[in-house]
Amino acid sequence: TEKSVLVPIANGSEEMEAVIMIDVLRRAGADVTVASVENDLQVTASRGVKLVADRSIGECTEQTFDLVVLPGGMPGAERLRDCAELKEITQKQAARKALYGAICAAPAVALHSWGLLDGKISTAHPAFSDKLPDTSAVEQRVVRDGTVLTSRGPGTAMEYALALVEQLYGKEKAEAVAGPMVMR
Amino acid sequence: TEKSVLVPIANGSEEMEAVIMIDVLRRAGADVTVASVENDLQVTASRGVKLVADRSIGECTEQTFDLVVLPGGMPGAERLRDCAELKEITQKQAARKALYGAICAAPAVALHSWGLLDGKISTAHPAFSDKLPDTSAVEQRVVRDGTVLTSRGPGTAMEYALALVEQLYGKEKAEAVAGPMVMR
Ligand SMILES: [Cu+]
């Protein structure tokens, strides 16, 4: 069964994190919507890579997703945080106990600002992890607490994307996706 | 001193490989030109990510680069191979003993088709590595032979990009770039 995933992007999003999540989830068979929180569909990511979203975030507010996951990068994570539509979509996701997550700067900057990490164990980029409400597992590369998954940076993004695949489709699918990518 | 790098992209290029190389090399301070070999600057990569190049490959033929490096992905690697301008740029690079490289499908499909791996030890994606002229080191994740560097897939792309940084800027810079990315 096809799972639907929302990956929002902004000017200043970390392009490796965004693209690794989109690509790996699509390899698993997910229907991934890349949504811009900017006025334009085209954004300029943190290291100048120009990405074109599939849709504007405003077109995604009526849809229900199996997973909503935010890339990091600065100021991208702040621009995601400041998007009212994305905040509402992600809060709705949490309220209905569906999967959501973020990597790098985004757990602290976006999810935590929205109150979505309270009482949750999480991680983030080392430069942001002291801002999390529960820092007991920040050294782990991928942290899951119930329906929230968080991770640390570009170097953990592939493991993180595979952990998201495992949550949506199971361990066997995650291993099938990892194989041809030459992970180890 | 700023180093100049050419990363060509095509419809069907592997977006993780392309973006990881561009991003990591820019983190090191390189002046990276992302050049489309298609009529449009915008390409649709192998898993549907839409990337917008900085320039058309035709605008790059007069420039001299410190490094020319090709992402994999299919049919992206074939479309890079079939681009006469890119072939000429890369052959010129080899002739003047400057750095060039490729990852995943591209070492076998593009570099080897152009005669640029003859007498060189190289690697490629497991599905393509038996087509290389010298398969003695195909199990290694990153292979350097003189001025040619090759690698295997999305899972090896970050190590590969850091090896390219090390070639251009030295080991210390590669370590400085790797740190904040949370590699290990
Ligand atoms: Cu970051």
* Spacing, Cα B132 to ligand 1 middle (Å): 37
Specify whether A125 is catalytic.
yes
Residues in A closer than 8 angstroms to B46, CB to CB, are 23
* Per-residue model confidence (pLDDT) at position B104: 98
A74 touches chain B (CB under 8 A): no
Could you report the per-residue pLDDT of B85-134, keeping only the tens digit for each?
999 999 999 999 999 999 999 999 999 999 999 999 999 999 999 999 99
Residue-wise over B58-68: b if at least 16 C-beta within 10 A, else e? eebeeeebbbb
**For the residues A52-71, what does the mean pLDDT come to?**
98
pTM for this entry: 0.98
Chain B residue with the nearest C-alpha to that of A73: B181
- The DSSP 8-state label assigned to residue A2 in this structure reads P
Q: Which two tokens stand for residue B146?
A: 């003189």
Percent of all residues in chain A with a pLDDT value above 90, rounded to a whole number: 98
Could you count the other beta carbons within 10 Å of the beta carbon of residue B108? Answer: 26
Q: What whole-number distance in Å separates Cα of residue B17 and Cα of residue B154?
A: 5
Contacts of A23 in chain B (CB under 8 A): 14-16, 46-47, 49, 154
Residue B1: what pLDDT?
Answer: 74
Give A92-132 pLDDT, tens digit per residue: 999 999 999 999 999 999 999 999 999 999 999 999 999 99
Closest among B31, B145, B147 to B91, alpha carbons compared: B147
Q: How confident is the model at residue A1 (pLDDT cuts 50, 70, 90)?
A: confident
Rounded Cα distance between B139 and A90, Å, is 43
Residue B125 a catalytic site member: yes
Nearest-neighbour CA in chain A from B111: distance (Å) = 20
State whether A154 and B184 contact (CB < 8 Å).
Answer: no
- In A, minimum Cα distance to B44 occurs at A52
Partnered with residue B173 across adjacent β-strands are: none
Residue pair B155/B144 in contact (Cβ under 8 Å)? The answer is no
Q: For residue B184, what pLDDT is reported? A: 81
Pick A19's closest partner by Cβ from B15, B27, B178: B15
pLDDT digits (tens, 9 = 90+) for B130-161: 999 999 999 999 999 999 999 999 999 999 99
Cross-chain Cβ contact B182/A20 below 8 Å:
no
ipTM surpassing 0.90, yes or no? yes
Distance B37 CA to ligand 1 centre (A): 30
The overall average pLDDT reported for chain B is: 98
Query: Residue A184: its pLDDT value, please?
Result: 82
Nearest CA distance, A92 vs chain B (angstrom): 27
